[in-house]
Amino acid sequence: MTYFRNILFSTALLLLFVLPTLAQDDGEDTTTPPVVPYFNAENPRTLFNVPIPFGWADMSEANQAHFVNGDLQAEIYTLVLDAAEISEATKQTIDALAPDQFGLQGIQTVVEQIAAETPTLRFWSLVTLSNGDWTEAIYQLADGTDVTAFAQVREQAIYVLAYFNRAPGDFLMLIKQPEKNAQGRYEPQDGIAAAMTDVFFGETLTPETTDTVALSNGDWQYNLYPPLNDLPLAAIGQARGDAVYVVIENGDEDLINTANKVFFTVFFGWFVTPYNDPYLYLALSAVAIIMIALIASIILRYRNLRKDLALIERLKQEA
């Protein structure tokens, strides 16, 4: 009987220990997110990841995402530039003149590294989005390639996203923050107008037709302009969160539908690994304090009790 009770008792205990595994194995009320191929940077100091756009060839290296689309004649680069890679003299000049241009210098360095030539700056600006300050720059290379690039400075590193359009004409992307309307919202039309002024300054550009088009990433304001430099000119704009996102095309190819989606897939999917090491140190300190407090209390109480015991035994002998 005792043997049977012991077995029953042991079984109950075993079940108690198995419970944690059972609790973790709940398949109900859950959803499995779709698998999106991601590029993951390898440098542990400057981690980031970006989604690989569908249909683009992944030519990435260890710490540099590089996607190529032959049909669009376009390339996307996402990489991190260590601040140390920019010369001290340049940094001091930038700091003295305009600290905000540090991101711009980073973009230029990246474009120079990739294109092996000094690009011509066409336009640059600063925008503040929900995920921090971004520097935007548009460059022209000698062979006619236009480069739209964004940079964010974090922890002594510059995170750069660059879109190289090697197709004839222009293909540009801008993030604008024009005056808000009476309802406190951004008007896509205002964003487009501001963008057109920025990149085609000096030109009088009035749209021939305006329309709203539904693309895979939402409704966009669509403006068709008279041809510029004998090439068709069109622009789309969308108010999204704290800015108006604008895509301008001055070329023969109909790139807007595909390229804007691809570019913004990378831009919005880009995730920079947060720096939160101080919280890790805080947590490790907390663990150490709790465990040391427990162990120290056991040791101290034990020592004190041993003294008490010795005293009581001495008193007992004397008595």
Partner 1 sequence: MSAVKEMPLSAAENPSQNQDREPRVLTLLTIVTILAVAFGLVMALFYAGTDIDQGNIQRIFYLHMPSFFGAFSAFSASVVGGVMYLRTRKVKWDTLALAGVEVGLALSLVNLITGAIWARPIWNTWWTWDARLTSAAVMVLTYAAYLMLRNGIENGETRRRFASIYSILAIATVILTLMIIRIVPETIHPVIIGPSPQNAEGTFEATSGVVLALLPNLLIWFTLVPFTLVWHRIRLQNVVERVESLKAELLSQ
Distance CA 99, CA 58 (A): 34
Q: Which lies closer to partner 1 via its Cβ, residue 57 or residue 293?
A: 293
Q: Which lies closer to partner 1 via its Cβ, residue 180 or residue 301?
A: 301
- Is residue 156 a contact residue for partner 1 (CB under 8 A)? no
Q: Taking the CA of residue 179 as centre, how many other CA atoms within 13 Å lie in the half-sphere pointing to its CB?
A: 2
- Is residue 26 a contact residue for partner 1 (CB under 8 A)? yes
Q: Which lies closer to partner 1 via its Cβ, residue 229 or residue 317?
A: 317
- Is residue 58 a contact residue for partner 1 (CB under 8 A)? no
Distance CA 107, CA 148 (A): 10
Of residues 197-226, which lie at the interface with partner 1 (CB under 8 A)?
none
* Residues 309/317, Cβ–Cβ less than 8 Å: no
- Nearest-5° Cα angle at 318, 315 to 319: 85
Q: Which lies closer to partner 1 via its Cβ, residue 123 or residue 270?
A: 270
Q: Which lies closer to partner 1 via its Cβ, residue 98 or residue 298?
A: 298
Of residues 28-57, which lie at the interface with partner 1 (CB under 8 A)?
28-32, 40-41, 44, 47-49
- Is residue 4 a contact residue for partner 1 (CB under 8 A)? no
CB of 4 to partner 1, least distance (A): 15
CB of 119 to partner 1, least distance (A): 30
- Is residue 274 a contact residue for partner 1 (CB under 8 A)? yes
CB of 127 to partner 1, least distance (A): 23
x/- map, 63-82, partner 1, by CB under 8 A: --------------------
- Is residue 3 a contact residue for partner 1 (CB under 8 A)? no
- Is residue 317 a contact residue for partner 1 (CB under 8 A)? no
Q: Which of 36, 142, 283, 296 binds partner 1 (CB under 8 A)?
A: 283
CB of 21 to partner 1, least distance (A): 8
**C-alpha dihedral over 248, 145, 119, 192, to 10 degrees?**
0
Structure token pair of residue 227: 């041809």
* Interface residues toward partner 1, by CB under 8 A: 9, 13, 16-17, 19-21, 23-32, 40-41, 44, 47-49, 271, 273-277, 279-280, 282-284, 286-287, 290-291, 293-295, 298, 301-302, 305-306, 308-309, 312-313, 315-316, 319
